[in-house]
Amino acid sequence: MATNGVAPNYLVLSVLGNDHPGMLEDISETCLQCGCNILDTRAMIAGSEFTANFLLAGNWSAIAKMEAALPTLEQRLGLTTMVRRTHERPKDSQAISYTVQILAQDKPGIVHHAASFFTAQGINMTNMDAETYLDQHTFTRMFSLTMVLEVPSACHIGQLRERFLLFCDEQNLDAILEPLRV
């Protein structure tokens, strides 16, 4: 994204606060009033808390206005915020995006073991979504994990898939590793 031919500035904003209707509207309105564009966001209710991460872009003035507006927003909405200036992430044109979906009976350590497996393979995770739920038929607590990976082009996919399936068998996980479909 370019703003009047000038490369934009980026800000990562993380928020946490007691959930109530309108949280996302209030935060996004502040972004808009400051002149920031929301490029990416992940928001959810965790317990009774609203939590969200935003990647904002704008010229230096918009980013500075957003940073200056945060104390008022925190006080008005009862939020805790963290911000960090960042830059656009360089794209690895040689990497191939893959998605992993894991489904298993819930137990501690699934995220850690999956992250450790891919880290040991030299593979970066770019996105992760995990949740637990009760199976409608057995009322067993289940765990669902979806990850998006950047697999280096030098990685032999067949060998990676084989190692991953062995890992899943050892951990008693049902899983799929396939190219990301957009």
Mean pLDDT in residue range 113-138:
95
Mean pLDDT in residue range 153-168:
95
Give 153's DSSP letter: T
167, 165, 170: which is closest to 178 by C-alpha? 165
Q: In this model, does residue 29 exceed pLDDT 50?
A: yes
Query: Residue 51: its pLDDT value, please?
Result: 96
Beta strands in 59-95 (DSSP E): 79-86
Query: Residue 1: its pLDDT value, please?
Result: 46
Q: In this model, does residue 41 exceed pLDDT 60?
A: yes
Query: Residue 7: its pLDDT value, please?
Result: 75
Q: In this model, does residue 133 exceed pLDDT 60?
A: yes
Contacts of 79 (CB under 8 A, 6+ apart): 15, 16, 17, 73
Rounded Cα distance between 56 and 86, Å, is: 10
Which CA distances in Å does 88 have to 126, 147, 160?
Answer: 14, 21, 29
Query: Residue 18: its pLDDT value, please?
Result: 95
Query: Residue 5: its pLDDT value, please?
Result: 61
Half-sphere exposure of 52 (CA within 13 A, CB side): 20
Q: In this model, does residue 2 exceed pLDDT 60?
A: no
Query: Residue 3: its pLDDT value, please?
Result: 47
Q: What percentage of the chain exceeds 70 in pLDDT?
A: 96
Mean pLDDT in residue range 22-50:
95
Which CA distances in Å does 137 have to 7, 121, 134, 153?
Answer: 53, 37, 9, 42
Q: Under DSSP, is residue 106 helix (H, G, I), strand (E, B) or coil?
A: coil
Rounded Cα distance between 117 and 38, Å, is: 33
Mean pLDDT in residue range 117-144:
95
Rounded Cα distance between 24 and 59, Å, is: 22
In the chain, the domains with their CATH numbers are 9-86 (3.30.70.260), 96-179 (3.30.70.260)
Give 155's DSSP letter: S
Is the pTM higher than 0.85?
no
